[in-house]
């Protein structure tokens, strides 16, 4: 029973089934919008469909239990298949080097009266060795023996790739810190502090963005040790063992709240953030969006005509408790007044989102990818070939074999014999 | 330079169209000379197409592989290149009869896209862009050739008594082998595409795999062709079954290329 199970798990039939299921799962995950709430699916489709989506984990296909089981099963299949194939492949490699086995294998045949070495040369074989063959001296050569291991190496690479990815997903950490130049924020619970020294957006002549660049300083909260670097898109930096990426950007603005004319509080808010009034926490301001060149488009609502700060406007919502008491787009210089409180927006500026990651297994996944590529090259483009020239009364009998593309090799052998024999193609 | 590219691109379209007509006439009048002219036109088209891409590259000041127009034009170039390699290597001009319309369709699709040259967005400013897109072009081109050869194989199956068709196409076994080789080339380069894309994504977004629709469909295509290869070994799928599978596989390639961009936008939506 166990032997049967072992055989099935390592079988190619099982591998094909898994590959088909994984392809279907991946396709399903790409069509169905992922990471949405039950209510979202219910409103988009129906209650019943939403229930099915949630029951099957289709709202997050690539992290669902069944998808992980399929991937784990593929890893087991690759592992067991490769383990079981080691001995047969070693045997095959030995047999490949043994000219005696050529006679019993499906092979290409040809006859030549003289100069068999020239055929070896025409087919790019290394210089043939003389071997004893039934008391006569035959010639034998082989090439691309490593190609026998191509598929094995490819499977090994895929296994490493999946392993590296899985370990990275489970042990890696990822944080995001956002802020404007001059701000210092903690990096989650790592004990490190991130200071955004500077953030610049480079523009092309046509006003499109050429690059986002942030200057960062990371300091150790315990001993004060600090490291600085500059990051831009496609050019991350490594500080204290973490990778820092320039991820995205958005608009921020200074918000000042005055009570009876006196400054009560002043903070920098990024679009999407909220702020509660210090001495009246039930009054809260939400900075919804920012329009640098504000225009109101009929039927579309507020928008921006360009990325330049020509007519800045701040879209806000004001809450008292749970109640929405106001929502509007505030132009520069305008004030929101609620009883004794005056709220103003000023100094619009870009904030940066810095992504911070540590994944020690990325090199393993990369190595897996490289090994997979090498395996495929060996499997597809280094077909193991061998050729034996045995003397016979009319000259030499040639027996050749290619473990892949035998038909083409047979044609190549015939063409090489014709070329060497000086015959012309019909 | 961009003006020269415009002229060259129009010329290339006309030449590919002419090549397609010559290949159709070859089937109608059954004269080998006509097929040779068709092959020569494809060669000329490829040369001018290369010149057009070079002009585009110089004019834009970067590799011409960053938007729908440039990728479609490069895809047609890759398809033409791989087709010519197989036509010349296997002395197989009949391949041109089926490849030329596909090349013309792809270049026609390119012509419908905006040719405006825009500055590269920051995420595209990477030395990996060239490797990633160039390998994708070869991969798609190879899968395209495998699709065309499989169509020829299936047609040959249906036209068993066609003397002319038999005379100008390799034997069934060889057609099957050429299609298989083409799939191998495509799969190898698709692996290069996925790996170089992953390295690039790691530098640009800090994540080498994000289940973006384009990534996911590249993986689906990879899995489909991996199934094709395993079925050939496990079940001895050769000939008709393999040809049907290769045609279905190319549907995945086309969906990955066009379908994903139009139906499933993600971080590759500029591609």
Phi, psi of B238 (to 5 degrees): -135, 175
pLDDT (tens digit per residue) in A353-369: 999 999 999 999 999 99
Share of chain A above pLDDT 90, in %: 72
Measured between its terminal Cα atoms, the distance across chain A in Å is 60
Q: Is A199 on the interface with B (CB under 8 A)?
A: no
pLDDT (tens digit per residue) in A43-52: 999 999 999 9
**Residue A424: pLDDT band by 50, 70, 90 thresholds?**
very low
Q: Distance (Å, rounded) from C-alpha A180 to C-alpha A305?
A: 24
Hey, of B122, B135, B182, B256, which one would you mutate to test binding to chain A, going by the most A CBs within 10 A of its CB?
Answer: B122
Residue A411 falls within a domain, yes or no?
yes
Q: Distance (Å, rounded) from C-alpha A310 to C-alpha A82?
A: 65
pLDDT (tens digit per residue) in B60-108: 888 888 888 998 999 899 999 989 998 998 888 888 998 999 999 999 9
How far A51 CA sits from the closest chain B CA (Å)?
24
Confidence (pTM): 0.86
How far CA A314 is from CA of A251, A252, A304, A348, B218, in Å, comes to 10, 10, 11, 9, 42
Q: What is the DSSP string of A180-249?
A: -TT-EEE-TTSSEEEEEEEEEEEE-TTS-EEEEEEEEEEEETTT--EEEEEEETTB-EEETTEEEEEEEE
| CB B83 within 8 Å of CB B101 | no
Q: Scanning every residue of chain B, which has its alpha carbon at the shortest distance from the alpha carbon of A406?
A: B177
How far A368 CA sits from the closest chain B CA (Å)?
10
Structure-block tokens of residue B40: 């020569």
SS3 (DSSP) at A272: coil
Q: Is A366 on the interface with B (CB under 8 A)?
A: yes
Q: What is the mean pLDDT of chain A?
A: 91
Q: Is A247 on the interface with B (CB under 8 A)?
A: yes
Residue A156 falls within a domain, yes or no?
no
Q: What's the pLDDT score for residue B268? A: 55
**Residue B190: pLDDT band by 50, 70, 90 thresholds?**
very high
Residue A161 falls within a domain, yes or no?
no
A346 and A294 belong to one structural domain: yes
pLDDT (tens digit per residue) in B112-140: 988 888 888 888 888 898 899 999 989 99
Which residues of chain B from 194 to 213 reach within 8 Å of chain A, CB to CB?
194-195, 198-200, 202-209, 211, 213
| CB A235 within 8 Å of CB A272 | no
Q: What's the pLDDT score for residue B174? A: 85
Least confident among A80-84, A126-130, B142-146, B162-166: B162-166
Q: Between these two residues, A407 and A97, which has the higher pLDDT value?
A: A97
Biggest CA–CA distance in chain A, Å, is 118
Contact list in A for residue B216 (CB cut-off 8 A) is 26-27, 29-30
Q: Scanning every residue of chain B, which has its alpha carbon at the shortest distance from the alpha carbon of A407?
A: B174
**Residue A25: pLDDT band by 50, 70, 90 thresholds?**
very high
Contact list in A for residue B66 (CB cut-off 8 A) is none
pLDDT tops 90 at residue A286: yes
Q: Is B190 on the interface with A (CB under 8 A)?
A: no
A263 and A343 belong to one structural domain: yes
Q: How many CB atoms lie within 10 A of CB A230?
A: 15
**Residue B245: pLDDT band by 50, 70, 90 thresholds?**
very high
A266 and A245 belong to one structural domain: no
How far B120 CA sits from the closest chain A CA (Å)?
7
A244 and A262 belong to one structural domain: no
pLDDT tops 80 at residue A141: yes
Residue A149 falls within a domain, yes or no?
no
Subunit contact A373:B191, Cβ cutoff 8 A: yes
**Residue A425: pLDDT band by 50, 70, 90 thresholds?**
very low
Subunit contact A236:B203, Cβ cutoff 8 A: yes
Contact list in A for residue B219 (CB cut-off 8 A) is 26
Contact list in A for residue B118 (CB cut-off 8 A) is 206, 208
A292 and A334 belong to one structural domain: yes
pLDDT tops 60 at residue A423: no
Subunit contact A407:B194, Cβ cutoff 8 A: no
A139 and A127 belong to one structural domain: yes
Q: What is the mean pLDDT of chain B?
A: 88
pLDDT tops 80 at residue B36: yes
Contact list in B for residue A30 (CB cut-off 8 A) is 211, 213, 216-217, 220, 260, 264
Q: Is A238 on the interface with B (CB under 8 A)?
A: no
Residue A371 falls within a domain, yes or no?
no
How far B115 CA sits from the closest chain A CA (Å)?
16
Share of chain B above pLDDT 90, in %: 52
Residue A398 falls within a domain, yes or no?
yes
Q: Is B187 on the interface with A (CB under 8 A)?
A: yes
pLDDT tops 60 at residue B188: yes
Residue A334 falls within a domain, yes or no?
yes
Structure-block tokens of residue B88: 């010349």
**Residue B257: pLDDT band by 50, 70, 90 thresholds?**
confident
Domain count, chain A: 4
Kindly provide the residue ranges of all beta strands, DSSP E only, lying in chain B, ordered along the sequence: none
Share of chain B above pLDDT 70, in %: 96
A260 and A338 belong to one structural domain: yes
pLDDT tops 80 at residue B271: no
Q: Between these two residues, B23 and B172, which has the higher pLDDT value?
A: B23
Q: How many CB atoms lie within 10 A of CB A158?
A: 21
Query: Of A16, A232, A236, which is closest to B234 when you measure between CB atoms?
Result: A16
A339 and A322 belong to one structural domain: yes
DSSP H helix total and E strand total for chain B:
10, 0
A225 and A192 belong to one structural domain: yes
Q: Is B233 on the interface with A (CB under 8 A)?
A: yes
| CB A142 within 8 Å of CB A385 | yes
Residue A20 falls within a domain, yes or no?
yes
How far CA B228 is from CA of A264, A378, B237, in Å, comes to 70, 18, 8
Domain region containing A10: 2-84
Structure-block tokens of residue B215: 């990534």
A80 and A105 belong to one structural domain: no
Subunit contact B122:A235, Cβ cutoff 8 A: no
A340 and A263 belong to one structural domain: yes
- As a whole number, mean pLDDT of residues A313-319 equals 95
- Give the residue from B146, B139, B191, B200 showing the smallest Cα distance to A375: B191
Q: Between these two residues, A275 and B164, which has the higher pLDDT value?
A: A275
- As a whole number, mean pLDDT of residues B43-55 equals 95
**Residue A204: pLDDT band by 50, 70, 90 thresholds?**
confident
How far A380 CA sits from the closest chain B CA (Å)?
6
Please, which residues have CB within 8 angstroms of residue A84's CB and are 6 or more apart in sequence? Answer: A10
* b/e code A33-55 from CB counts within 10 Å (16+ = b): eeebeeeebbeeeeeeebeebee
Q: Between these two residues, B62 and B195, which has the higher pLDDT value?
A: B195
How far A184 CA sits from the closest chain B CA (Å)?
22
Residue appearing with tokens 């030549």: A112
Q: What's the pLDDT score for residue B119? A: 82
A68 and A116 belong to one structural domain: no
**Residue B267: pLDDT band by 50, 70, 90 thresholds?**
low
| CB B203 within 8 Å of CB B211 | no
Q: Distance (Å, rounded) from C-alpha B123 to C-alpha B271?
A: 12
Q: What's the pLDDT score for residue A426? A: 42
Q: Is the ipTM, as predicted for this complex, more than 0.90?
A: no
pLDDT tops 80 at residue A260: yes
How far CA B112 is from CA of B47, B68, B108, in Å, comes to 22, 10, 7
């Amino acid at each position: 029973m166990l032997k049967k199970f072992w055989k099935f798990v390592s079988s190619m039939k099982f591998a094909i089934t898994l590959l088909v299921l994984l392809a279907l799962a991946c396709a399903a995950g790409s069509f169905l919008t992922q990471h949405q709430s039950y209510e979202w699916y219910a409103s988009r489709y129906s209650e019943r469909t939403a229930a099915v989506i949630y029951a099957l984990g289709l709202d997050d296909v690539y992290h669902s239990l069944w998808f992980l089981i399929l991937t784990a099963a593929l890893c087991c299949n690759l592992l067991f298949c490769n383990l079981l194939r080691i001995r047969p492949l070693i045997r095959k490699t030995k047999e490949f080097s043994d000219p005696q086995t050529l006679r019993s294998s499906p092979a290409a045949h040809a006859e030549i009266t003289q100069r068999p070495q020239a055929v070896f040369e025409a087919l790019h074989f290394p210089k043939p060795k003389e071997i004893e063959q039934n008391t006569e001296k035959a010639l034998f050569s082989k090439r691309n023996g490593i190609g026998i291991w191509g598929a094995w190496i490819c499977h090994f690479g895929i296994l490493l790739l999946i392993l590296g990815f899985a370990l990275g997903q489970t042990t890696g950490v990822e944080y995001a810190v956002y802020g404007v130049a001059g701000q210092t924020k903690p990096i989650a619970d790592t004990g490190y502090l991130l200071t955004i020294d500077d953030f610049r957006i480079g523009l092309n002549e046509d006003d499109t963005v050429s690059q986002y660049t942030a200057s960062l300083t990371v300091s150790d909260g315990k001993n004060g040790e600090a490291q600085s670097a500059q990051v831009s898109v496609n050019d991350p930096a490594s500080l204290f063992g973490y990778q820092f990426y320039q991820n995205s950007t958005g608009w921020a603005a200074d918000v000042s709240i005055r009570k009876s004319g006196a400054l009560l509080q002043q903070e920098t808010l990024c679009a999407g953030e909220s702020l509660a009034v210090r001495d009246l926490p039930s009054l809260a301001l939400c900075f919804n969006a920012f329009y640098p060149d504000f225009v109101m488009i009929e039927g579309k609502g507020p928008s921006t005509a360009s990325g330049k700060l020509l007519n800045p406007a701040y879209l806000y919502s004001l809450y008292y408790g749970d109640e929405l008491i106001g929502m509007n787009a505030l132009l520069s210089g305008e004030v929101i007044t609620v009883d004794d409180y005056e709220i103003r927006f000023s100094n619009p500026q870009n904030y940066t989102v810095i992504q911070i990651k540590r994944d020690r297994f990325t090199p393993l996944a990369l190595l897996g990818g490289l090994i997979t590529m090498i395996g495929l090259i060996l499997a597809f483009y280094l077909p193991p070939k061998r050729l034996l020239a045995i003397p016979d009364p009319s000259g030499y009998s040639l027996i050749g074999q290619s473990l892949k593309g035998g038909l083409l090799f047979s044609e190549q052998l015939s063409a090489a014999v014709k070329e060497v024999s000086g015959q012309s193609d019909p | 330079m961009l003006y020269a590219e415009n002229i060259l691109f129009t010329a290339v379209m006309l030449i590919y169209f002419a090549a397609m007509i010559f290949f159709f006439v070859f089937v109608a009048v059954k004269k080998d000379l006509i097929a040779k002219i068709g092959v020569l036109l494809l060669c000329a088209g490829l040369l001018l197409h290369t010149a057009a891409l070079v002009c585009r590259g110089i004019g834009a000041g970067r590799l011409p592989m960053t938007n729908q127009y440039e990728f479609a034009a490069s895809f047609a170039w890759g398809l033409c290149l791989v087709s010519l390699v197989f036509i010349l290597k296997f002395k197989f001009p009949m391949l041109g009869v089926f490849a030329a319309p596909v090349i013309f369709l792809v270049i026609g699709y390119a012509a419908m896209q905006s040719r405006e040259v825009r500055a590269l967005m920051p995420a595209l400013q990477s030395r990996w862009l060239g490797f990633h897109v160039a390998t994708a072009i070869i991969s798609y081109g190879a899968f395209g050739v495998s699709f065309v050869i499989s169509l020829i194989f299936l047609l040959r199956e249906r036209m068993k008594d066609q003397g002319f068709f038999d005379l100008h196409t390799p034997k069934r076994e060889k057609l099957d082998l050429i299609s298989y080789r083409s799939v191998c080339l495509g799969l190898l380069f698709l692996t290069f595409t996925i790996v170089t894309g992953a390295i690039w994504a790691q530098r640009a977004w800090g994540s080498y795999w994000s289940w973006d629709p384009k990534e996911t469909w590249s993986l689906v295509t990879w899995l489909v062709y991996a199934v094709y290869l395993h079925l050939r070994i496990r079940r001895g799928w050769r000939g008709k079954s393999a040809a049907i599978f290769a045609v279905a596989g190319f549907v995945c390639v086309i969906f990955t290329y066009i379908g994903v961009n139009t139906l499933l936008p993600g971080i590759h939506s500029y591609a």
